[in-house]
A and B are shown apart, each in its own frame.
Chain A
Amino acid sequence: MKKRGMRRSNSKELLPSSIENLKTKLQEAMHNNPDFQIRDFEIGGQRVLVFYISIIVKKQQLNDNILAPLLKGDKQWTTQKLINALPLGNNVAQTKLNEVVDALVQGSVGIYIEKESELITYPIPDQEKRSVDKSDKESTVLGPQDAFTESLTTNLNMIRWRMNTGDLVTEKLLIGERVPTEIRLVYLKNLANKEDVQTMRQRLQDLVVDRIEDATPLTYYIEDSSTSIFPQFYQTELPSRFSYSLSMGRVGVLVDKSPTGIIAPTSLFSFFESTEDVFMRWNVGSFIRILRFFALIISAMLTPAYVAALTFHYEVIPTPLLTTLGASRAAVPFPPVFEALLLELLIELLREAGARLPTKVGQTIGIVGGIVIGQAAVAAGLTSNILIIVVAISALASFTAPSYLIGSTIRVIRFPLIILSGFLGLIGIMASICFLIIHLLKVTSLGRPYLLPIYPFVGKDFSKTFYRLPYYFNLKRSFSYKPQDMIRYPKKKARKMKDIDD
């Protein structure tokens, strides 16, 4: 917190001072802002100053709760009397100029009564925000649908209601040298691993930036390795996911003006978990989760395998299949690498265009691109039918990842894989798999290994990571992240069985 002193060194004493003097000082500090209003009242022969930035305070509250009681009658005011009379809480007594200015720009109203030794400010900010919407980026079929908004108060409100326990801590931190942004470190006091909380707090406190744009850039400042292509903190817009992670002992970070919550530590595999898996029956949930892991492998490997097989390893393909492949590729003038890169690029273009355009146009573009261009490319002899199927499957598979970040990571990884398989065939693919695994072994998230239940090996956590089991096997929390309390519910109760005809 020491560093923050640099921001404004003019912590001048504002009071005591005459009314006129105070007025000019405030005007000066506000750089003659046209929205800054100072109203000078004379009540019972005593001068009272009320000042605020008109566009960021609630007019209704200002009129009803401050001005109306203040101007009623003709009595003599003192600061203490005023505090007692106004039906508002949160009053702050101020004497320093920079503190007053800070309060004003955050939507406070300042009141100064002549000859008093301090002025008081009331925060009544009027913050424009959208209402709570359905989640767009991480849609789920089952479970809560609401998503975070840009307002920290709303987000905290949603988390508070989900986790209405006194154990929930929301530590306040201010980050940003020029434009400070409020950040909340959220965790369960008696559950979250203390070391993790401390690491996260330390990283946030040590951060020196001029301004934080959003929660996502914040993660890039504080994550373990910024060179890695893999996201190391989970970013979610679902309050349900956020609070579920908190109840598993993770640490969360909420940023003001950002609809994204950050969760840490995470492993690679938690990017393939969806809260929906928890709402599903365990066997169905397991199936879907395993399906996603397969999707990951297919998405990364299918096109490179096609390229490798058709460039170098004809002998791996059995003869009947080779005939089909050969027939479909007969008219294609390019080597398979080029063909695959072309189509992959096309898919990426479609995805990007679809994401940027308005929803309705985006759908049309998808259909036009997918069907018309695909058909035309085959008819023109630029690509083979089979490759279109291959590329479509791998693109589809990459969208099954519940986290958009990991989905994009996989799509990007595919390109070097395709190029390497075009140069070195299967050996190239294998070398890249080995490279990826070695890389993943090196990555950490908040100091904890990224491949956690696998290495270091924690066999007990497999049922939470790769598949799910009935509730009576899930007595304990994930061991990997060492929460303070392992037990979710006592074994006896879960295991109690009724006799026949009981």
Chain B
Amino acid sequence: MNTTNLTIKPTMRIQAFYLFFIMNSIQTGSGIMGVPRYIFMEARQDAWISVLIAGLLVHLVMAAMFAIMNHYENTDVLGVQTDLFGKWIAKLLGTIYIIYFFFVLLSVTMDYIQVVQTFIFPRMSAWVLSLVLILLIVYAVMSGLRVAVGITFIFFFLSLWLLIFLYKSIAYMEITHFQPLLEASPSELLRGARHTSYSYLGIEILFFIYPFISNKEKAKLPAHLGLALTTFFILLVTVISIGYFSPGELPEQVWPVLVLFKIVEYSVIGRFDVLVVTEWMMVILPNMILLTWIITYITKRLYHVQQRKVLYVVAVLLLIGAGITKHEYFILQIIDTVAATGFWVAFVYPLVLLPLVWMKSKWKRRKRGGAKT
């Protein structure tokens, strides 16, 4: 099964425009809740420039990914790796992907549980919450990619309205917080850009979902637009956070984006941030469902194990992982590690892979040409 080209049944294919929602949903998750703080600590008031730099670089990475995939007829990164490095190294790299995705999933789960514990239920057990989330994930992933994409699509619209309620914090922004402009050094800006990596993680899903797309010639635009929307979201919350919080206050806030909603108040709703944290489940779930689907899919591709069985194993591991970790320090440690690893796996690796693919195809062509003459 681990051959280069894949044939996907027509009923399992998805249309290209869903890539927009897939890309945006898998990136927008737990990272965006806290990202302004991290960038701000590096680049201070120029943090928004860091976001733009990071956005541009990620677009480049995505272009590289498309270049790799277009070299082949219909395959995912596992097929590409087999083609380049042979069966055993490809299997090793695939396993790294599995472990990496599992830890991304774990970090997202733990982060959300922590947010809920902080904002809504300080004494709620992590076991209960992770059980609820995991049951939903298992139920969704049971029906495969089509349902996962459907959830992504519907939940995108069901959570988009949250943006509207940023209006109040926009009204309280202070323009002086952005001055003086360009105070940060280029290296600080780049370090700030690197700190966004946790929020941009997820574009590697393109490597796996690409063979499922029915109209590939139209795939680039929606994917890049989805990425651009992510950049816009991060930029928006970063700009508002810098303007809204005083420079001394922002580094104190672990989840500045959620705090931005605290100021919204109506005659029927007192604490809006509680609703936002609840609603955030709709932001986080598509993310987790897609990640779980990828894990089961890769395992099936590599080891020919039934996806259902993998799903149960992942669910149990996730439950244990999310249930037993209690210390905030430890959770932050995991998130930092995932972010650092993700930087290499998601952004650097495709850029390394592309020249190899080029070289291989050039070598092949020369060999074939040599045989002819």
Instruction: Please tell me if B269 contacts chain A, counting CB pairs below 8 Å.
Output: yes
Task: Point out the residues of chain B lying under 8 angstroms from A317, CB to CB.
Answer: 269-270
CB <8 Å contact, B279 and A430: yes
B153 to chain A, nearest CB (A): 6
Residues A316 and B275 in contact in the complex (CB < 8 Å), given A425-B121, A438-B140, A455-B153: yes
CB <8 Å contact, B132 and A427: yes
Interface segment among B143-151, B186-194, B247-255, B317-325: the answer is: B143-151
State which residues 103-157 of B face A: CB under 8 Å: 116, 120-121, 128-129, 132-133, 136, 139-140, 143, 147, 150-151, 153-155
A316 to B271, CA, bound (A): 5
CB <8 Å contact, A434 and B282: yes
Q: How large is the interface on B (under 10, 10 to 19, 20 to 34, 35 or more residues)?
A: 20 to 34
Instruction: Please tell me if B268 contacts chain A, counting CB pairs below 8 Å.
Output: yes
Q: How large is the interface on A (under 10, 10 to 19, 20 to 34, 35 or more residues)?
A: 20 to 34
Instruction: Please tell me if A103 contacts chain B, counting CB pairs below 8 Å.
Output: no
Task: Point out the residues of chain B lying under 8 angstroms from A22, CB to CB.
Answer: none
Instruction: Please tell me if B263 contacts chain A, counting CB pairs below 8 Å.
Output: no
State which residues 403-461 of A face B: CB under 8 Å: 424-431, 434-435, 437-439, 441-442, 451, 454-457
CB <8 Å contact, B121 and A318: no
CB <8 Å contact, B154 and A441: yes
A434 to B268, CA, bound (A): 24
Instruction: Please tell me if A315 contacts chain B, counting CB pairs below 8 Å.
Output: yes
CB <8 Å contact, A430 and B269: no
CB <8 Å contact, A455 and B278: no
Most buried by B among A322, A424, A430: A430
Instruction: Please tell me if A500 contacts chain B, counting CB pairs below 8 Å.
Output: no
Residues A430 and B281 in contact in the complex (CB < 8 Å), given A435-B136, A451-B150: yes
Instruction: Please tell me if A334 contacts chain B, counting CB pairs below 8 Å.
Output: no
Instruction: Please tell me if A6 contacts chain B, counting CB pairs below 8 Å.
Output: no
Most buried by A among B133, B154, B267, B275: B154
A322 to B129, CA, bound (A): 28
Residues A315 and B274 in contact in the complex (CB < 8 Å), given A427-B281, A438-B147, A438-B151: yes
Query: Residues on A close to B: CB < 8 A?
Result: 312-313, 315-322, 424-431, 434-435, 437-439, 441-442, 451, 454-457
Q: Enumerate the 6 nearest inter-chain pairs by beta-carbon distance, A residue then B residue, closest first.
A: A455-B150, A318-B270, A426-B278, A441-B150, A315-B271, A438-B140
What would be 14 A-B contacts, judged by CB atoms less than 8 Å apart?
A316-B271, A316-B274, A316-B275, A318-B269, A428-B132, A434-B136, A435-B139, A437-B151, A437-B158, A438-B147, A441-B154, A451-B154, A455-B150, A457-B153
Besides A441-B140, A442-B143, A451-B150, 8 new A-B residue pairs in contact (Cβ under 8 A), listed by A number: A316-B270, A425-B120, A430-B282, A431-B281, A434-B155, A435-B139, A437-B155, A441-B154
